[in-house]
Structure 1
Amino acid sequence: MDKNFCWIFLICVLTLKKFIVTFDNFNIRSAYIGCFQRLIFNNSSGTVSTVDDCVQFCKGRNTNFIALRGSECNCVGGVDSAVPSAHCNSRCSNNEACGGLHLYSVYKDKPRKIHDEIFYLNEEFAEETVAYPPRSCTLEACAHICLERNMSFFEYRHDKCGCFQNFDKKVQIPSNIEYDMCPYNGNEICSIRFLQNSIKFTTRFLYEFQRGYSSYTHCKENIVREIKDNCLEGCSEGWKGDSCRGRDCTRNNGDCGNEMKCIESTVNDYRYVECVCPYGTVRNKWDLCELFQENVALNKKPYASSAWKGNPLIDTIYLNDGVCKGISIARINDSRSAWMSVDLERFYFVGIVKIYGALGTNILSYAGLDKFVVRLSQTFDTDTRTDVRNLLKICGHGPEKAIQAGNPMTVICEDFQLRSRYVILQQSDEKFSRDDFSVAELEVYEVSCDVLNGRCEQMCNLFIQENIHFVRCSIWNDEQTVTNSFYGCYLKVSGDLHFKKAGLSYLQCRDACNSMSKSLAVMQAGFKCYCSSSLNIAGNTSMFNCKAKYYKSNLIFDDCFMFDNFCKEIRSISHSTTITTKINTTDTTETSHSTTIITKINHTDATETLGTIVIINPSNEQHTATTSEETDNYESYKEKLIIAASVSTTTFLLMLAGILGHIIFTRKDQKRVSQTSDMSSVSLDTSGAKSPDDILESVNRQLTEHE
């Protein structure tokens, strides 16, 4: 096991000032957690008008989150499936954020008093990250440290917070635990013990916190990290502030990695920074972006070939009750048929099955799941006690070595076309009926094109009929190879792709590709920049998908200008050029002229009349506070005017001065002015390679001839 230690010295008092909110002093700014699609351990719900009403409603309940969806108030112990806060666009009566159509605005209403203890052992497990906070640090602060480090477990021992991902030893389940409240805050728990043994906890299922503010300092090139007032050497890339604990979306994508984008959001008139997944996906408890799917096995009818009696924590009902940490489990007690099953109650095309193992109170309790087998069937005799292994279709197998409780073991079905109602779990042939067969949780998810492309070689098509998902494979009918001068939104992009960076703006991506001498830029999901000189593309889709930054979208371009925070196409100059003036006359000696600025270039080879001065103004990449869309140093770019026929700014001004001079001259003679209404159009031949001087001379010559 890798023992890469990273020591972080913490002053958790500062952490608590940011994260801990007491009921008596509820502060909506620090209480806000985020926008989520799934609730865990929902205690109760009621109808309210404001966030404060929901806080009052959940007072006294053993939860520490409130989740609002419109007027619906939920008291919950945990949340999952995070989306950008902007998606929670419903408002309470006082205009506070109160969820969305299928989303919940989540706030922390009080410190946690129920922690997710899993086992005890008088031995340290810290593998990759160890933090040494002072005595004032709490269990909840330690959980936030380890969750931020993307670790599954934590322990608080001898004033030390340790984080670890896996464990492979025999452990014991705690009971009759003892706990100490914090001396400086009677609402906070500082330690939990069982017979003086150290308790280990899971981080994934209950804890959540604001992701824009770190639990510890991120000083530049400082392996030994600590909480301090300032970093003299500066902040690591993606962090800002005197203590380098706030994410900086303008640098290194706010240290959000390559799969999420750093954005700024405004909620309840306060600014927050978030690491968000591309549109159409959610951030799960393992900090991964995935398509939101319902567990179709949750709370459906479970069965087993035998029952284990005498222990209230062992029962078949725990097979799919939504509790994954491995203490309450399903277990069989026979050696003949040895199966567990869930009746999905209707037919599904099963794509993924996730298994959480039991807590390893002995080595056999999880080793019995080595290479476990998931089987599928349209029908199944739940009373059978015979060997059914050869009678069922195989979905797939688990890993060679099963892992301890707390993390899932995922099986992707080998055939996405199997229509099934029953999911059956059995041991491998090598382990069958010999070792302990215990399972904490079984989850089942439908097929999707997002998993292994639906097991299609080319194009995957997802269909939904009567709420049943199924996929069908087809071929791409618009495949092509592009090398330069291209603009479009496509679902499939392959070729010699060079990944530049996540979090770049469109113009930054373009410039990065130019610096690499690559003719094409690809912006995936609106924030991941790739560069190439040759691409194989297919699946032309609506430009709306690229503008919305849909997770499957790929905007391909060689150049663009910014308009409404999006990279708009710059078409060929030879297809879009007209320079015209429009002169309005009246019956009096007063005349006027008008100039129209149009920010759209149309494909046209037709000659336009001399009626409107057309200037293509490049739109700037704006710094948007609420969504923090693409940012760039565009000052030099915005000074330029893209003028039809590639006329430079200076030459164009000379042309304009000449035309206006002519207008003033003609106003002196009313007879000549009246004749201007019959002026024939003056067109510019844009097909040739004329210089700006040639164009100006041509305009003057035609005006002179008309006089």
Structure 2
Amino acid sequence: MKLRCNFVLILLQTNSILTKAYGQKYDYIGCFQWVRSPLFEIHDDVEDCAANCKFTNPFNNMIGLKNGRECHCVSGVSSAVASWRCNMFCKNFSCGGVEFYSVYKIQPRQEHDIYYCHVHPENSENAIYSRNFDNLDSLEMCAHFCLEMNMTFFRKTIFYNKCNCFQEVKYALYFRSADESFHAVLCSKNEAEICEYYFESLRNLPTIFSTRLFYEFQRGVSTFSHCKTINYEIQERCPEGCSEGWKGDSCRERDCTRNNGDCGDEMKCIESTVNGNKYVECVCPLGTVRNKWYLCEVFRKNVVQHNKYIGKPRDGPAENLTKASYNGFLGQRPYTRCIWIAVALQSLYSVGYLRVYGRLCHNNYVCRPQDGFVARLSENTLVENELNVESLKTCGYGPEKAKQAGNPMTIICEDFALRSRYVILHPSDEKFGYDGFFLSLLEVYEVSCGVLNGRCEQRCTESKDGDAHVVSCSSWTDEQAVTNSVYGCYLKVSGDLHFEKAGLSYMQCRDACTLMSKSLAVMQAGFKCYCSSNLSIAGNIPVEDCKKGHYRSNLIFDDCLMLNNFCEEIENSSHSTRLTTKINHTDTTETLGTIVIINPSNEQPTATSSEETDDYEFYKEKLIIAASVSTATFLLMLAAILGHIMFTRRNQKSVSQTSDMSSVSSGTSGAKSPDDILESVNRQLTEHE
């Protein structure tokens, strides 16, 4: 059985794009490496898991099944991966993997992620994207639209009945209270859906919601029509046709055959089948995941101890702070003015980067202490005052102008070799005299070679020290320059690289490079095509790693033989330059040597010529007919095919013995030999079986 590389989803049912897939009671959303779930129970059935989560909390909107039997009641997801990684089943439904969760939507969302509301509506943010709310099914679909546009916030306007999306919040007077109850208004079109959600006592104030944490949907079917003239609404038909990468009457389905399905340059568009239904997914390269900001990154868990926040007031001992939250309100005790805020990590880690969520500020003065803040690392001690905090190792610095709450400030640590147990944030030197330092949420992630090459100048290698990830740097030992024909898989490729396009097949990439008069084609991660005439290469690794499409792999070729949708080296080819460098097997911790092998995606093989296609047509017809008849008839037809091949072989041999005239040779030029055709027939029979 062949596994197919999958990821973010599109229903290809012709009767109704946005309804549940045929035969499914719940909507399959995708496969994820992280879900927000407090605990799990053992249920080896999607139906039982959904019933359990609804019973536990009637507002539960999603479930996640892991390891074929773990039922998680999910309130948020992140780190999307290809659906093939959820390769365990329960009662014929996808039920996760060893480290992955099959996530399903079990009912319309009943709770929404209220961020705040403006006390003065005239200070509301200007929308970056907007559409008529009446054309949406619910408040949840408004969230999905803004999430598809990669916006952090959304709102439904009260007077203009619009769904608005925007990225940042203004300085203003906000209202939010943990004691305030919410009120939900059902949709008139569908009473199972929510169309309004607001603070009970503040109906007339603009309510702002956050998109990133609570919401997710099937990304392969868009929330609006991608017509050539776009207006972000749903249209029954697009008279001018679809934008490149989209198809269907309403231009809402991704088309992997054009423009990489509009998946961009960092993901590959492929088709997949989940629970018997066809979807389309935008896939991050193997070894990476799609994060909440629609970017590919190496997966790392947040290693902060659960709610372990410590603050040091100016006049008093360090104390534990309240539960942290990304929403800008719950970062510390009310009125506590801290000179530093620290988090304890679960163990001793090499810290790669931080994501810091700041305070929701009424004005610039309140947020000023966060401008240019300093992040420091401590192996085993916490400081007691601002004088010796500077003796700690520095991780890095925040932006000169701190971001408002809701969007993270990312700091990549300066030294990936440092091991730390605490991360401490404090104001910059010139701001220690301000009223206090505020923090909403801090996430800490370990090092990886996927972030700035692990801070290595040359080769980066990942390994584990207990439960902790570490990176080590070394020199390339096989670096060399190539200008002529070569075939191989490498970690390092540099030179006059020209990016052609993402999503091309190997043959399309080769042809594009030929048109550019470039002698070498480079396929990075299995789908990014580059062209060059001279390269510096190093880190020769097995071709299998390029076949898997690992994010660090680069296949270099000028010509190849397409087998099973991969560009295989042509045996006995006469390259003018052959590399003889052997693979260095002394590095047993190399990441690429331990990753799981994946089968190729649905990339369509490209015939090298029309003659080649014609040569196979006779045999394809026979195979198609054979697939629909009985076993005995099939064997008889197979014998006839083989007899035809043997006759052709004897006839060709006779011709070659009696004549070597050019007219005879020209009559058979471009045709496949009987041995090649026999091999093709056997291969197709194997695939048929």
Q: Give the TM-score band, short-chain normalised.
A: 0.7 to 0.9
Q: Given the superposition, is the C-alpha separation of residues 431 and 259 from structure 1 closer, same or farther in structure 2, using an over 3 Å criterion? A: same
Aligned twin of 1:370: 371
Q: State whether structure 2 residue 392 is matched by structure 1 residue 417.
A: no
Q: SS at the partner of 1:439?
A: coil
The offset of 1:271, in angstroms, is 0.2
**How far, CA to CA, are the matches of 2:431 and 2:437 in structure 1?**
9
Q: SS at the partner of 1:318?
A: coil
2:305 and 2:346 in contact (8 A); partners too = no
Aligned twin of 2:42: 47
Give the letter for the 2:50 counterpart.
Answer: V
Return the structure number with greater relative CO, CA threshold 8 A, min gap 6. 2
Q: SS at the partner of 1:339?
A: strand
Q: Given the superposition, is the C-alpha separation of residues 308 and 569 from structure 1 closer, same or farther in structure 2, using an over 3 Å criterion? A: farther
Matches within 5 A, 1:238-249: 238-249=245-256
Give the letter for the 2:88 counterpart.
Answer: S
Structure 1 residues 65-74 or 440-449, which shifts more? 440-449
Aligned twin of 2:31: 35
Give the letter for the 1:38 counterpart.
Answer: W
Match of 1:205 among 199, 203, 213: 213
The offset of 1:168, in angstroms, is 2.9
Matches within 5 A, 1:594-609: none
Matches within 5 A, 1:342-421: 342-381=343-382, 384-385=384-385, 387-421=387-421
2:486 and 2:558 in contact (8 A); partners too = yes
Q: Given the superposition, is the C-alpha separation of residues 375 and 130 from structure 1 closer, same or farther in structure 2, using an over 3 Å criterion? A: same
Q: Given the superposition, is the C-alpha separation of residues 219 and 367 from structure 1 closer, same or farther in structure 2, using an over 3 Å criterion? A: same
Per-residue Cα deviation, 1:146-169 (whole angstroms, up to 9, x for no partner): 000011111111320111111232
Aligned twin of 1:133: 133
Matches within 5 A, 1:556-635: 556-573=556-573, 627-632=601-606
Q: Given the superposition, is the C-alpha separation of residues 148 and 298 from structure 1 closer, same or farther in structure 2, using an over 3 Å criterion? A: farther
In structure 2, stretches of 5+ residues that fail to align are 1-15, 581-597, 617-646, 669-689
Match of 2:52 among 44, 52, 57: 57
**How far, CA to CA, are the matches of 1:506 and 1:353 in structure 2?**
38
Q: Given the superposition, is the C-alpha separation of residues 260 and 395 from structure 1 closer, same or farther in structure 2, using an over 3 Å criterion? A: same
Aligned twin of 2:326: 324
Q: SS at the partner of 2:48?
A: helix
Q: SS at the partner of 2:513?
A: helix
**How far, CA to CA, are the matches of 2:190 and 2:546 in structure 1?**
50
Aligned twin of 1:483: 483
Match of 1:285 among 279, 292, 297: 292
1:170 and 1:363 in contact (8 A); partners too = no
Give the letter for the 2:224 counterpart.
Answer: Y
The offset of 1:432, in angstroms, is 1.6
1:349 and 1:416 in contact (8 A); partners too = yes
Give the letter for the 2:398 counterpart.
Answer: G
Aligned twin of 2:196: 191
2:341 and 2:439 in contact (8 A); partners too = no
Aligned twin of 1:500: 500
The offset of 1:180, in angstroms, is 1.4
Matches within 5 A, 1:483-562: 483-562=483-562
The offset of 1:71, in angstroms, is 1.2
Structure 1 residues 168-177 or 632-641, which shifts more? 632-641
Q: State whether structure 2 residue 103 is matched by structure 1 residue 106.
A: yes
The offset of 1:546, in angstroms, is 0.3
Q: Given the superposition, is the C-alpha separation of residues 482 and 304 from structure 1 closer, same or farther in structure 2, using an over 3 Å criterion? A: same
1:227 and 1:243 in contact (8 A); partners too = yes
Q: State whether structure 2 residue 78 is matched by structure 1 residue 66.
A: no
Q: Given the superposition, is the C-alpha separation of residues 366 and 632 from structure 1 closer, same or farther in structure 2, using an over 3 Å criterion? A: farther
**How far, CA to CA, are the matches of 1:457 and 1:693 in structure 2?**
56
**How far, CA to CA, are the matches of 1:363 and 1:446 in structure 2?**
32
Q: Given the superposition, is the C-alpha separation of residues 201 and 27 from structure 1 closer, same or farther in structure 2, using an over 3 Å criterion? A: farther
**How far, CA to CA, are the matches of 1:299 and 1:317 in structure 2?**
11
Q: SS at the partner of 1:155?
A: strand
2:314 and 2:385 in contact (8 A); partners too = no
RMSD: 3.3
The offset of 1:571, in angstroms, is 4.1
Aligned twin of 1:590: none
Match of 1:271 among 278, 281, 300: 278
Q: Given the superposition, is the C-alpha separation of residues 255 and 333 from structure 1 closer, same or farther in structure 2, using an over 3 Å criterion? A: same
Match of 1:256 among 260, 263, 287: 263
**How far, CA to CA, are the matches of 1:479 and 1:426 in structure 2?**
44
Per-residue Cα deviation, 1:80-107 (whole angstroms, up to 9, x for no partner): 1000111111000x21111011101000
Q: Given the superposition, is the C-alpha separation of residues 401 and 26 from structure 1 closer, same or farther in structure 2, using an over 3 Å criterion? A: farther
Structure 1 residues 425-434 or 358-367, which shifts more? 358-367
Q: Given the superposition, is the C-alpha separation of residues 29 and 660 from structure 1 closer, same or farther in structure 2, using an over 3 Å criterion? A: farther
Aligned twin of 1:84: 82
**How far, CA to CA, are the matches of 2:294 and 2:376 in structure 1?**
29
1:298 and 1:443 in contact (8 A); partners too = no
1:29 and 1:270 in contact (8 A); partners too = no
Q: Given the superposition, is the C-alpha separation of residues 640 and 58 from structure 1 closer, same or farther in structure 2, using an over 3 Å criterion? A: same
Q: Given the superposition, is the C-alpha separation of residues 531 and 339 from structure 1 closer, same or farther in structure 2, using an over 3 Å criterion? A: same
**How far, CA to CA, are the matches of 1:185 and 1:399 in structure 2?**
45
**How far, CA to CA, are the matches of 1:439 and 1:300 in structure 2?**
13
Q: Given the superposition, is the C-alpha separation of residues 693 and 326 from structure 1 closer, same or farther in structure 2, using an over 3 Å criterion? A: same
Superposition TM-score, scaled by structure 2 size: 0.79
The offset of 1:197, in angstroms, is 0.4
Matches within 5 A, 1:124-163: 124-134=124-134, 137-157=137-157, 158-163=160-165
Aligned twin of 2:311: 304
The offset of 1:524, in angstroms, is 0.4
Give the letter for the 1:526 counterpart.
Answer: G
Give the letter for the 2:468 counterpart.
Answer: I
Structure 1 residues 534-543 or 189-198, which shifts more? 189-198
The offset of 1:429, in angstroms, is 1.3
**How far, CA to CA, are the matches of 1:626 and 1:184 in structure 2?**
44
**How far, CA to CA, are the matches of 1:484 and 1:145 in structure 2?**
49
The offset of 1:341, in angstroms, is 1.3
1:212 and 1:272 in contact (8 A); partners too = yes
1:20 and 1:111 in contact (8 A); partners too = no
Aligned twin of 2:461: 461
Aligned twin of 1:617: none
Q: SS at the partner of 1:146?
A: helix
Superposition TM-score, scaled by structure 1 size: 0.77
2:449 and 2:461 in contact (8 A); partners too = yes
Aligned twin of 1:595: none
**How far, CA to CA, are the matches of 2:510 and 2:600 in structure 1?**
24
**How far, CA to CA, are the matches of 1:422 and 1:145 in structure 2?**
39
2:131 and 2:232 in contact (8 A); partners too = no
Give the letter for the 1:213 counterpart.
Answer: V
Q: State whether structure 2 residue 655 is matched by structure 1 residue 657.
A: no
Q: SS at the partner of 2:175?
A: coil
2:112 and 2:197 in contact (8 A); partners too = no
Q: SS at the partner of 1:67?
A: strand
Q: SS at the partner of 2:206?
A: strand
Match of 2:115 among 114, 118, 141: 118
In structure 1, stretches of 5+ residues that fail to align are 1-16, 576-602, 604-623, 643-652, 666-683, 685-689, 697-707
Aligned twin of 1:671: none
Q: SS at the partner of 1:325?
A: coil
Q: SS at the partner of 1:499?
A: strand
Q: Given the superposition, is the C-alpha separation of residues 365 and 161 from structure 1 closer, same or farther in structure 2, using an over 3 Å criterion? A: same
**How far, CA to CA, are the matches of 1:489 and 1:203 in structure 2?**
40
Aligned twin of 1:172: 174
**How far, CA to CA, are the matches of 1:456 and 1:658 in structure 2?**
59
Q: Given the superposition, is the C-alpha separation of residues 284 and 691 from structure 1 closer, same or farther in structure 2, using an over 3 Å criterion? A: farther
The offset of 1:361, in angstroms, is 3.7
